[in-house]
Amino acid sequence: MEIREFLERNKENMIKDLTELVSYDSVSIYNPEGEHPFGEEPAKVLDSALAMFDREGLKSENVDYYAGYAELGEGEKLIGILAHLDIVPCGTGWTSDPLKLTLRDGKLFGRGSMDDKGPAICGLYTLKYLKEEGIDLNGKRVRLIVGCNEESGSKGLAYYVNKEGHIDYGFTPDGSFPGIYGEKGGVNALFASKNTKIIDAKGGLVPNAVCSEVYFKLPKDSVDETKLKEYFDANKIRFEFNRGDFDELTTFGTAAHASTPALGVNAISHSFRAFEAAGFQDDFVTYYNEYININTDGAPIDCKLEDEYGDLTFNNGMIYMKDGHVEGTIDVRVPVTIDTKIVTDKISEKMNDNNGSILEVSGGKPLFFDPKSPMIAALVKAYAEVTGDTENKPMVIGGGTYSKGINNCIAFGGEYPGEDNHIHDVDEYIGYDRFFEQTEIYIKAVMNLLQLD
């Protein structure tokens, strides 16, 4: 049977299965002490998925409620499709019930519909097609792996890998088409003041985003209000300043992801520049402006690095008071061919002085495949054949995907170039037609991978 005929015959069932998975509020909360390490709802949605696997006559396994899988075939080599069943919190402001799959304007709305329950169903029907059509698996196994904890640490995948091992080829629908063959290495650090007159500081929601709003409390008459205004006006940055018993400043920037900090306006960094311009004499202000400043390229710590696939990015995402000191977070994305140790060493070397210190620093390895490798070529060929898109090319990104948790895997879909499915936002959706087209891409992708040695 032709793939599209198969999909047409299974449309209603695919929608029904996705409706079932979306109905679970499967936010993962880690608690390793019990039968369900990520909570009741992630366990329930995994049980539901495993029941679907059994229904289709696939070998299924519950990996201690950390993950589960469906498998087809026999052999040493394993092709993997990695999806996850946990979601981010629904939040408020949806135009329909986020836990009820809703078709509207050619889109299937629901939390997890794109990230990652919809693609998990695409993976299931990929195995279903291979099984029903008796496709020669060339002495290999094909396994759909579904984790229960991707959104808050990927502990589910780590547990799975520790128990079941890695894969030989594969992909995860946790990124974008036509594929992501490189993910920058990550460096995370905490820095702190040693001596400062700053009384209070609070800004940023997460380390991996550009801070869009920050509040500072300083001793009265610490800054020249006229020069403060001149700085912010010159940089077209909104601020609020109040002078009473203290000098209080709130600065408003523009949020962006930490992988693309130049697209944002960092409220923290500009506040420290403004303090300096307005005559605030403070050891920690000196420290900040020497080693962080408004730069997003690592130049202040001699880490302005690049390779043919991209540049280093540097972001201070959060700042706060703790035990009488100001502390802040650093998020660095290191080009894929450069050792992250270069950056961790430089941070430790440069950012410990009389005015401030590094409390901790750690680095994670990049992910990188030769874009001309057989695995990448097999996946891109499937995408191009189904969509007719030969202009968009596989890419390197600054962010991280599920791929980093297992060997021989890249992110491949589910978002299409130029489309925004509101992942992690209100009204998340997967396109109705895209839902079935994505399945066709994955069927052809697996069939291509089956031909590799």
Strands (DSSP E) contained in 226-278 are 238-243, 246-252
Q: What angle do CA 14, 17, 20 make, to 5 degrees?
A: 150
Please give the average pLDDT of every successive group of 10 residues along the chain, which has 453 residues.
96 98 97 93 98 98 98 97 95 96 98 97 98 97 97 93 98 96 96 97 92 97 97 98 97 93 97 98 98 98 96 97 96 96 97 97 94 96 98 92 94 96 93 98 98 95
Cross-strand bridge partners of residue 431: 107
Q: Which CATH class is domain 3-183+368-449?
A: alpha beta
Cross-strand bridge partners of residue 146: 68, 83
Task: Give the fold, CATH level 3, of 185-364.
Answer: Alpha-Beta Plaits (3.30.70)
Residue-range domain boundaries for the chain: 3-183+368-449, 185-364
Task: Measure CA of the first residue to CA of the last residue in the chain; give whole Å.
Answer: 26
Q: Which two tokens stand for residue 139?
A: 């002495």
Strands (DSSP E) contained in 195-312 are 200-203, 213-219, 238-243, 246-252, 306-307, 310-311
pLDDT, position 442: 98
Q: What angle do CA 82, 153, 323 make, to 5 degrees?
A: 170
pTM of the shown model: 0.85
pLDDT, position 399: 79
Q: 């698996």: which residue's tokens?
A: 137
